[in-house]
Structure 1
Amino acid sequence: MARFVLIRRTPLPPAECWERLTAWPRHGDRVPFTRVSVVRGTGREAGGVVLARTALGPLRFDDPMEIAELVAPGPGRDGRCLLVKRGDPVHGRAELRVRAAADGGSAALWTEELTVVGLPRLFDPALAQAGRLVFGRVLDHLLTA
């Protein structure tokens, strides 16, 4: 299983940081050949499903992610969203977290663990590095746009 963690600090207050992090369609803005949409629920509660659909010509795959937990940040409480990847060929989970910073801004944390069916574990370090690059761009875009 490939695992990576991204951390970004932002001057945005926690509520705004959270809104940007959970603006699911905007996640696809920086992932090549991918569109992201909410296909069940509002995308703001447990039980909802977010779908990342990647397509390059005839090559296509879906990455459906069920929202297993979603708690917005509040006074004295971090925001946390746990997404469980239930697709084929991608399995795993992603956790997005927003913490208030002492300076009035926020820290956004993105932790992902994923497995690609049929890809030997030997490739986990390369997969984690690719994840850091791609999802680092997504996170930067969400927090600055």
Structure 2
Amino acid sequence: MTLFRVERTVSLPPDEVWRRLTDWPAHGRQVPLTRTTVLTPGPNGAGTRFTARTGLGLLSFDDPMEVVRWEPPGSGRPGVCRLDKSGRVVRGWAEVAVTAAPGGGSRVEWTEELAVRGLPRAFDPVLARAGRALFGRAVDGLLRP
């Protein structure tokens, strides 16, 4: 499994950062060739399930996820959302933490541990760099004013 982290500090308040980072369909608009579909009705929370489908036609795969921890930020406490990934191709977890930054704004830490089926461990450093680049771009897009 490959572990990587994306960190950002932005001028937006924590509740707005949380809202944007947990808008699952919006992730699909930030990741190339990806569409995200929420599978559970109602508001986000623990138990919310969604799938990110990436690729073109027959050359695509599903990345099903479930929210297993949901603690929005509020009155001095950080927000934490943890996702479990249970796909046939991609497995692992992601955790998003949103805290108030000193002097205003927010600090984001997106940590992810992935395994890609059929990809030898020798490729872990490449997968980590690609993950940082891809998810960094997605976080930047989601948090853009």
Q: TM-score range with shorter-chain normalisation?
A: over 0.9
In the other structure, the counterpart of 1:39 is 39
- What's the offset of the Cα at 1:85? 0.1
- What's the offset of the Cα at 1:43? 5.5
- The amino acid that maps onto 1:91 is R
- Separation (CA, whole Å) in 1 of partners of 2:75 and 2:115: 35
- Separation (CA, whole Å) in 1 of partners of 2:42 and 2:116: 27
- 1:89-104 to structure 2, matched below 5 A, reads 89-104=89-104
In the other structure, the counterpart of 2:74 is 74
- Extract structure 1 runs of 4+ deviating beyond 3 A: none
Q: Is the 8 A contact 2:24 2:50 kept in 1?
A: yes
User: Structure 1 vs Structure 2: percent identity of aligned residues?
Assistant: 53
Gapped runs of 5+ residues in structure 2? none
- What's the offset of the Cα at 1:30? 2.2
- Residues 118, 22 of structure 1: alpha-carbon distance in 2 compared, 3 angstrom cutoff: same
In the other structure, the counterpart of 2:3 is 3
Q: Is the 8 A contact 1:43 1:49 kept in 2?
A: no
In the other structure, the counterpart of 1:57 is 57
- Separation (CA, whole Å) in 1 of partners of 2:129 and 2:41: 32
- What's the offset of the Cα at 1:23? 0.9
**TM-score, normalised via structure 1 length:** 0.95
Is the aligned partner of 1:85 residue 2:85? yes
Secondary structure in 2 aligned to 1:40? Answer: coil
| Structure 1 range deviating more: 117-126 or 28-37 | 28-37
- Separation (CA, whole Å) in 2 of partners of 1:43 and 1:114: 27
Matched pairs, number: 145
Cα-Cα RMSD: 1.1
In the other structure, the counterpart of 1:143 is 143
- Residues 42, 129 of structure 1: alpha-carbon distance in 2 compared, 3 angstrom cutoff: farther
- What's the offset of the Cα at 1:41? 3.7
Gapped runs of 5+ residues in structure 1? none
**TM-score, normalised via structure 2 length:** 0.95
